[in-house]
Amino acid sequence: MTDEMTLSDISFNEEGYMTNPDEWSRDVARELARANDIELTDKHFEVLEFLRKATMDGEKLSIRRIGKSGIVDIKGFYALFPGAPLKLASKLAGIPKPASYV
Amino acid sequence: MEATAFKKDVQTKHHKVEKVLIIVSKGTIEDVYAGLVMANGAVMEGIEAKMFFTFFGLNAIRKGKQDKLHTATVGNPAMMEHVPTMIAGLPGMEALASAMMKKEMDKMDIPPVSEFFDMIVAGGGEIYACQLAAEMFHLEEDDLIDDVKGIITVGDMYALADGPNTQIIFI
């Protein structure tokens, strides 16, 4: 799959979040991550799948919640998704922009 | 004409905030949380965050004290709007109001003070204590939580704020 084939079929909002979570696939996540200079590992995907499931279950996401997920601690989460981790991970997971204080 | 265009360009030039230095000088729950929420919010956005605790703000980084902060029920008209000052000053009122405040924050997934510090440090934030205030309150490194990176002077504090896109916030 080429960059163009993957991402051109996907709809994003003006902030870069996917608008239809059903369009998400592991390949889409990989392409988006590459654009951010991240090569996704199994650990990354564990976090992304956790975020997708939590969102579908209607949970409110926060860095604190991820830290308590048992998948990764907060320091590890910042290391996996450098910069603004919750926003970046949400973009790569194909879920809406998180509205979290913590 | 060209000069006007140039001026317009200068006015709208975008400088993203890259670093915040948050000075916390007060030790009530709401003042400490204001600092913690802003510092954590910064690291969450990829903004570098430094915190400097001075005077009563030091209580927020004292072992055994940080999770026992109180809010003021006397002299706090926004909080005790319908309560006469004499009543607000009765024994136990402050503890009650503080406990209620913490309970509400817990419902919103806001962590206790000690955990909040751990989150900020895990995100790359740095915590410092004011040397002058520490000396005044007879506090040493052992009295402060492990998250504290150093007890420093005001000069050192300004050095933390180095860089063209830093904001200093005083609480």
Instruction: Check if B79 contacts A (Cβ < 8 Å).
Output: no
pLDDT single digits (tens) A53-94: 999 898 888 999 999 999 999 999 999 999 999 999 999 999
Domain assignment of residue A59, yes or no: yes
Question: A61 to chain B nearest CA, in Å?
Answer: 10
pLDDT single digits (tens) B117-168: 999 999 999 999 999 999 999 999 999 999 999 999 999 999 999 999 999 9
pLDDT at position B39, please?
A: 97
| Domain around A82 | 3-93
Domain assignment of residue A52, yes or no: yes
Domain assignment of residue A43, yes or no: yes
Residue A4 has pLDDT above 60, yes or no: no
pLDDT single digits (tens) B19-69: 999 999 999 999 999 999 999 999 999 999 999 999 999 999 999 989 888
Distance CA A65, CA B44 (A): 14
Tokens of A65: 């919640």
Residue A1 has pLDDT above 50, yes or no: no
**Burial class, B46, CB count within 10 angstroms (exposed 0-12 / middle 13-18 / buried 19+):** middle
Chain B residues whose CB is inside 8 A of the A80 CB are: none
Instruction: Check if A39 contacts B (Cβ < 8 Å).
Output: no
Percent of chain A with pLDDT strictly greater than 70: 94
Domain assignment of residue A47, yes or no: yes
> Of A22-31, A72-81, A92-101, B84-93, which has the strongest mean pLDDT?
A72-81
Domains of chain B: 21-170 (3.40.1260.10)
Domain assignment of residue A100, yes or no: no
Query: Given pLDDT bands bounded at 50, 70 and 90, which one contains residue A11?
Result: confident
Domain assignment of residue A102, yes or no: no
Nearest beta carbon to residue A84 from set B40, B45, B108: B45
Domain assignment of residue A39, yes or no: yes
Answer whether B44 sits within 8 Å of A82, measured CB to CB: no
Distance CA A44, CA A89 (A): 9
Domain assignment of residue A85, yes or no: yes
- Separation in Å, CA A35 to CA A22, A28, B120, B166: 21, 11, 27, 28
Distance CA B68, CA B55 (A): 17
Answer whether B44 sits within 8 Å of A83, measured CB to CB: no
Distance CA A96, CA A93 (A): 9
Query: Given pLDDT bands bounded at 50, 70 and 90, which one contains residue A2?
Result: very low
What is the count of structural domains for chain A? 1
pLDDT at position B7, please?
A: 57
Distance CA B33, CA B117 (A): 10
